[in-house]
Amino acid sequence: LALLQVPNAVGFARLCSDCCPDAAAMAFEPLDKLLKRSGQKRLVLEVAQITVESARKVDSQNEDVRKAEAKALICGYAWVYQRIGQFDQAEQVAAESLRIGENLGWNRNTAFCLKCSGRLRRVRAEQESNGRTATKLLGEAVSIFSWRLNAFPRALSMARHMRRLAIVTACW
């Protein structure tokens, strides 16, 4: 039932983007998981774009608007770019989101950005035919996950998994 209302919510956010950008900047958060579960990557990207563009139109950005922008960058743009193989773009928006989150002192966002960057290196390593390059990428992934274990506890199990992959890759 909620999925049926998504086009209305997106249309409303799009309409609000010019007249009430602070309201439109909040569009991504409530639709995030619903859109991802539906598998509509194009719509995830569209709502993230509405959110980011609207946030940037707000004259006096408050913390909520900046957090909405950062989340749309990492959980919207970067999420889609990872899944369609546009790794460089994913890295760019992850770095932008990280910068915004760190300026706010928002550790949760930092953890998500680092998780994304680590995942990107792992995925690249899995696709890499050169064993040395793959090992280097996996090492970078482990370093990223290890760096912020306290900010994102699930990263500990991911880091252990990355270490195992690095050992297997080194055997190529």
The mean pLDDT of 92-99, rounded to a whole number, is 97
pLDDT of residue 1: 63
Three-state DSSP class for residue 85: coil
The whole-angstrom separation of Cα 146 and Cα 154 is 11
Give the pTM. 0.83
Centre a 10 Å sphere on the Cβ of residue 128 and count the other Cβ atoms it contains: 18
Rounded to the nearest integer, the mean pLDDT of the chain is 88
CA dihedral over 16, 97, 47, 38, signed as positive or negative:
negative
Residue 165 has pLDDT above 80, yes or no: no
CB 48 within 8 A of CB 55: no
The mean pLDDT of 21-39, rounded to a whole number, is 95
pLDDT of residue 11: 93
Q: Is 130 left (phi over 0), alpha (psi -120 to 50) or beta?
A: beta
Task: Find all residues with CB under 8 Å of 28, minimum gap 6, and list them.
Answer: 47, 48, 50, 51, 68, 71, 72, 75, 76
CB 56 within 8 A of CB 68: no
Residue among 171, 157, 151 at smallest CA distance from 111: 151
Residue 42 has pLDDT above 60, yes or no: yes
The whole-angstrom separation of Cα 69 and Cα 24 is 11
Residue 92 has pLDDT above 50, yes or no: yes
Determine the residue type at 83. Answer: R
